[in-house]
Chains A and B, each alone.
Chain A
Amino acid sequence: MCSLCGILGCDDHWTNAIARPGVYTHNHDMQSRRAEGMRRMKAVNSILSYRRLKLDVWQGRSYVVTSPTGASSVFEALSHLWPEAEALAGRAFDPLDEGMISWMEERQGA
């Protein structure tokens, strides 16, 4: 796990833990792993849309984050999502920023 990169999906990340005794995970089999991957993509895209970015799977193995101007960045693991997204947006994703919190609150209320 790359702790500095804001991991979201690599194999040993806590949000995507490998199924083993005692460990809580949604990755019980291929079907549940795929469903959880879709849910994670949706949750992340909800946050990325604050900077009008979008995340997709790229060629089934990697990820691509794209900006509204068409700029894109491909990376192998969701572990690299936040630095890649911030580089593409040219701005930070700060979950404690008043503007971002208000924006998320409005989305929840919508």
Chain B
Amino acid sequence: MNPLLTPVILLTGFLGSGKTTLLQRLLTDPSMEGAAVLINEFGEVGLDHHLLDRIDDNVVLLKSGCICCTVRGEVADALSNLESLRARGEVAFDRVVIETTGLADPYPVLQTLTAHPVLRSHFTNGGVLTTVDAVNAINQVAHRAEAVRQIAAADRIVLTKTDLVEPKQEQALRDRLARINPASRIVTTGEDVSSILGGFEPMSLDQTLTWEPPAEHECHPGCDHDAHGHSHHEHHHAHHHDDALGVTSFSLVIEGPIDWTIFGAWLTLLLYRYGDRIFRVKGILALDGEDKPVAIHGVQHLVHAPTHMEHWPEGPRSSRLVFILEGLSPDLIRRSFSAFTGVSRVRTAA
């Protein structure tokens, strides 16, 4: 992360999932002392800011409803105003937290940070923190696309209300969340703030790098796929489905060097056409002529500037691209990648 840019942490999560409670906890931590807070409240009367103890010049309430449509300009205005105040020495902050409404799609705010001609010179995506209600999340992810998009966009998932469910129920939810977003670490709200925020960066690819595909599963008569999260036979169990909304996560494992320019043309066209259904793409690439791996990270239509990684993780030096998407065939994406880039040794993995 560029040290000259102020990180903006997006705190999101479905309605009632404990965003404000978590924000209150985070703000008590010394590391968050210098945080400015923007709160978006759906509805005419903002309530959540009253729940925060620290009401001061650094807490701004965004008024105009759902953050994913009407408020985009207001987020930009609020951040611009904060920056102006800081430039004049009237406030000081070293990071910003934006608490979204429970119905928000995180993508427009991330896009605003990246695309806004002024903001992108001062702020950077500090990561997406998504709260997930252990009691109701199973039902929410089965029926609400907003909940799935928030989970898919997460760099870290914070489980809340785990004291209200049985360990078995919590584990089932963890399994489900891992299938929707295998690249995000899951913590619980009861953990230390340092644990919740530790190593929390949008470009962190730790989970991607350490996330090994499970052993090939042998089917047998009466095999209960739903019980263990495996996928359809025709895809050789190479991806996971979140059944109700058709959300799939899988990765392309690519052997051999990739031409960066051709890859860029392919992924750009793919996201132009299907960015509204590709919630997340994240991975490391072995590029033609490069010794070090290159990391890429995207949410829907938005792809952040690619970064050079210091070294390859242990194990084979193959490229790996993780996709979280809805209603698209992993095998078609694999074939498309090969057809456009000319790299034939590509397989899909869970």
Contact = CB atoms under 8 A, between A and B. Distances in A.
B137 to A, nearest CB: 28
Given A24-B308, A96-B273, A47 B265 contact: yes
Interface string A93-109: 11110100110110010
Contacts of A101: 332, 335-336, 339
B2 A2 contact: no
Interface of B: 2, 111, 114-115, 120, 259-262, 264-266, 268-275, 287, 290, 294, 296, 298, 300-308, 328-329, 332-333, 335-336, 338-340, 342
Main secondary structure of the interface of B (DSSP, over half): helix
A3 B265 contact: no
A92 to B, nearest CB: 7
Contacts of B260: 24, 26
Main secondary structure of the interface of A (DSSP, over half): loop
Given A5-B272, A47-B269, A108 B335 contact: no
A43 B300 CA distance: 23
A104 B260 CA distance: 18
B304 A14 contact: yes
B269 A39 contact: no
Interface string A1-25: 1111111100011110100111111
14 contacts: A4-B272, A6-B268, A6-B272, A22-B2, A26-B260, A26-B261, A40-B264, A43-B265, A44-B265, A95-B336, A101-B332, A105-B335, A108-B338, A108-B339
Given A3-B301, A4-B275, 6 more contacts: A21-B2, A43-B259, A47-B269, A95-B270, A96-B332, A104-B336
B51 to A, nearest CB: 33
Contacts of A26: 260-261
A84 to B, nearest CB: 12
Nearest to B301: A3
Interface in A34-81: 36, 39-40, 43-44, 46-47
Nearest to B264: A15
Contacts of A40: 261, 264-265
Contact of A95 (B269, B290, B302): B269
Contact of A43 (B262, B308, B328): B262
Greatest chain A CB density within 10 A among B329, B335, B339 is at B339
Contact of A22 (B307, B328, B329): B307
Greatest chain A CB density within 10 A among B265, B294, B342 is at B265
